[in-house]
Amino acid sequence: MPRSEHSLPSERIVVLGAGPCGLACADELRRMGHHSWTLLEAAPAPGGLASSVVDPAGFTWDLGGHVVFSHFGEFDRLMGELFGSGELLHHDRSSYIRFRDRWVPYPFQQHLHHLPAEDAEACVRDLLVACRQRGQGLPADTDFATWLQGMYGSGLVERFFEPYNCKVWATTPERMASSWVAERVAPVDADEVLAAFSGTARPGRRWGPNAAFAFPARGGTGEIWRRLAARLGSRLRSGSRVVAVDPAVRTVTLEDGDLVGFDRLVATGPLDRLVAMTVGAPDAVRDAAKQLRHTTVAMVGLGYRAPTTDERSWLYFPQRDVPFYRATNFSKYAPANVPGADTSAFSAWMTETSVLPGTRLDVRRLIGDCDQAVRRHGLVPEHAPLASAHLELIEYAYPVPTLDRDTALAAIVPWLEARGIYPRGRFGTWRYEIGNMDHAVKMGIDIARRLVNGTTEELLIPASAAMAATGGRA
């Protein structure tokens, strides 16, 4: 790393966004003794996409599905510092997919013996064909639709993968790359699938990093970030919306006209918005930013006057007559998510519906459709009184890994970093594959260490190094 990138003790580091990445970055700067930093957050409170809210009826809701699991020691250390014994509840994942008239265990492709006979036969037949054909390998740069067909065959794609992914991404798999799938889409072994039909399959380890997870006993996911923010003091400035970034004079302009100077800027908000408000960004960079795509999610939280009896964690819904793609058993996560922590009287289901940005929602209709779907599929008794219906519209929910995403990032990120601006976090990097809370924390800590000590980021290869390694290709 060039010596010039090391931060002097007096260098001003400004962090934009008090979500997990920004908070972790500021906390690491504090921990390392670098005192010249400021954290600016547009919202009145910290947390970003990992915030929680309490509705007027007393139900706690997250902004979409979050659970605590970790790939990184830094995240584990942070959680250990913030929470004492008994303040985190621990769960084993219990997750299912609604298919026709039944519940199929997750991952769907590993439990084909639970399907109706005709569907199971079609899925297994096409899966075996795909397994034979993919022995020669799939192209590394294939689109997601082609990857799904090559991995699982038409039977599984038509019955689950295509309808479900269209609901999640509000776009078609043909428009998406496949480079992000590593920990996001479960593999399948044809021999194990066949063994399950004969009853000879050996119990396997549950797939995925969230097979066991934790959740705050009180306050929802947002409690993590409230506690972290509390130890940052007055250098965290909430209600400070940035409207312009000028890399030439190293200032950010706030909505109230105030100017904040910086030597290094860590920006954890949406990358397309960052480019749009950066003075002097060339047309090529602005055009690239306009190619980035994201989803908007309507979180409809439904609280019922009915006891929490369902033991499952979350459920997937690929069918088109259900508006949401996922329903989370939020009162099961933590009793304190319902009024009085009384799960003998209340239950809570958190639903997520993806839409294209800018979609005009009929809020009353969406809430009604979600409520009817929850009842229709037996998540609560058919006539359970509705105690609360709360909607949060998450404008930037997930960055979509489109086919041209990496090309766009290759045009944007090196230009920003050459000017001392470092986009990080879920929407700063625009990489869904490293978009979990633990990833965001790791990115925040890594960039703080890079700027202060000159160490190499472990999760995210610096854009300039990545470009050099690929000869300028995305």
pLDDT in the model for residue 256? 96
pLDDT in the model for residue 237? 97
Q: Which region among 69-73, 116-120, 136-140, 229-233 has the lowest average model confidence (pLDDT)?
A: 136-140
Which domains are assigned to the chain?
A: 3-42+239-292+402-469 (3.50.50.60), 95-198 (1.10.3110), 294-399 (3.90.660.20)
Phi-psi category of residue 373: left, alpha or beta, with phi > 0 → left and psi -120 to 50 → alpha: alpha
* 465 band by pLDDT with thresholds 50, 70 and 90: very low
Amino acid at residue number 10? S
pLDDT in the model for residue 5? 62
Tokens of 336: 């304190």
CA 370/CA 376 separation, integer angstroms: 10
Q: What is the pLDDT of residues 361-373, one digit of tens each?
A: 999 999 999 999 9
Q: What is the pLDDT of residues 186-227, one digit of tens each?
A: 677 888 888 888 777 666 556 678 889 999 999 999 999 999
**Proportion of the chain above pLDDT 90, given as a percent:** 83
Convert 350-377 into a string of H (helix), E (strand) and C (coil).
EEEEEECCCCCCCHHHHHHHHHHHHHHC
Strand intervals (E) in 317-424: 326-329, 347-355, 386-399, 421-423
pLDDT in the model for residue 473? 31
Q: Which residue carries 């993919």 as its tokens?
A: 134
Please compute the mean of the pLDDT values over residues 380-394 and round it to a whole number. Answer: 97
**Helix %, strand %, coil % of the chain (to 5):** 40, 20, 40
pTM: 0.92
Q: Which residue carries 């009085």 as its tokens?
A: 340
The chain-wide mean pLDDT, for the chain, equals 92
